[in-house]
A and B are shown apart, each in its own frame.
Chain A
């Protein structure tokens, strides 16, 4: 049926091998069991049991349609390009499991204009600034724990219960002490100490950031949804 010129034999064989190899790789690497090999890095502590699709939803349309749409966009034939392969992960993806009414620092608050300078230093409008995924087994990816200084320089605490006043801690630039009493999102139920010697040692906080045990305790008001619970919620809606 096909007549292959003897001069092109090697090209054809190479092409067929490439096609078979490419198709096999595409098939194997899209199996659930090979997700670990596709992932660009380990998941954060607490996320280790999640499947890729929990965050990376399929983009709209098939691959051919996505290629076509982006070519059309490149030539100005359509106003917007489209996601290729999977959709971008946004704060909304995180909130599907981590939405908490008691969050004392919800991301949306930092969209207010007065946080303009603060978010240039630490962009708190998005979760991934502090919780970078596929990086390590960490919980918090910030290098230092002094981020409270970006917004709380003018903090005044009347009838300060702490043995070393908040005012002194701030004037001495001891910004890493905040996190030794206050968890950022405020979801832990625990007694805040009134003496500096009883606060959580910074080293323990660091270990927690790196994926270690929780120094604020395990009693939390809201527990994040597991993948199964999240799927159930999706099916309900």
Chain B
């Protein structure tokens, strides 16, 4: 009699257990790409996107800021303020790209720093300061794994690639160094990504998120121009500031970036196949 009761209890317990686990749980969120082959190491991808960044920033600094200034266009750190009718300085253009990336689904981090920044809050410290010393010596990228945040981190030299970089930083009222020369390592970009290797699809997503960031911040600049009350608004179309008071549309700007950067990037993407 007692044995039957225990048997019944065991059966009831098992039935309850099976009922609990048999209805089908929440589908596991396996990444859609989990079964896809990893095509690139995180270092390779960050080098690719850093190269795109170099081209984009150089184009913006030379063709928009440098030539634009000659046409009377203004660029300012307070460009977002309502009473300032100006565009973003190159460092803030990069900050805008970084902000846009963080709003998207790609877990890519992008930062800019220096040992002589205009804004003291952008001065490297700790591990980044150590690695930046090495970058200044050989201009080679530096990679490390950020244990605290569990992020793969890369640093790339940010060079004075245009006359406007040198003149603006040397003449800036808050500058901490006024003898910058063309070609100097003025700072470094820091990039972060959580995985050690990426599929082809993830790699393209990283590159696209950077390109989208470029378009977003450039569009914000064009929106600011639209709201100018006192300054003369440049004509926005296919022409560049080199030809007069013109600015390219976001599409024209991005097209030029792609023409300049895509060969190198494509070579790497295709080589992996």
Chain A residues with a Cβ under 8 A of chain B: 59-61, 64-69, 71-72, 78-80, 82, 95, 99, 101-102, 106, 108-109, 111-114, 116-117, 151-152, 154-159, 189, 221
Contacts and interface: CB of A to CB of B under 8 A. Distances in A.
A114 B28 contact: no
A68 B153 contact: no
Contacts of A72: 21, 25
B25 A78 contact: yes
A116 B227 CA distance: 39
Interface stretch (B59-67, B122-130, B179-187, B239-247): B122-130
Given A79-B28, A108-B102, A156-B120, A113 B127 contact: yes
Given A111-B192, A156-B176, A65 B24 contact: yes
B120 A113 contact: no
B25 A65 contact: yes
Contacts of B148: 113, 116
Contact of A113 (B98, B121, B153, B173): B153
Contact of B128 (A65, A114, A154, A158): A114
A69 B26 contact: yes
B26 A60 contact: yes
A80 to B, nearest CB: 7
Contacts, number: 92
B268 interface: no
A230 B95 CA distance: 26
Interface in B24-45: 24-29
The SS class assigned to the A binding surface is loop
Contact of B26 (A66, A108, A158, A159): A66
30 contacts: A60-B26, A60-B27, A61-B25, A64-B20, A68-B20, A68-B21, A71-B21, A72-B21, A78-B25, A80-B28, A80-B29, A82-B26, A95-B103, A101-B80, A109-B111, A111-B109, A111-B149, A113-B127, A113-B146, A113-B190, A114-B123, A114-B125, A114-B126, A117-B126, A154-B120, A154-B123, A155-B121, A156-B174, A158-B174, A221-B82
A117 B125 CA distance: 10
A111 B80 CA distance: 24
A155 B121 CA distance: 7
Contacts of A95: 103
Given A101-B99, A111-B149, A151 B121 contact: yes
A63 B193 CA distance: 34
A156 B15 CA distance: 71
B113 interface: yes
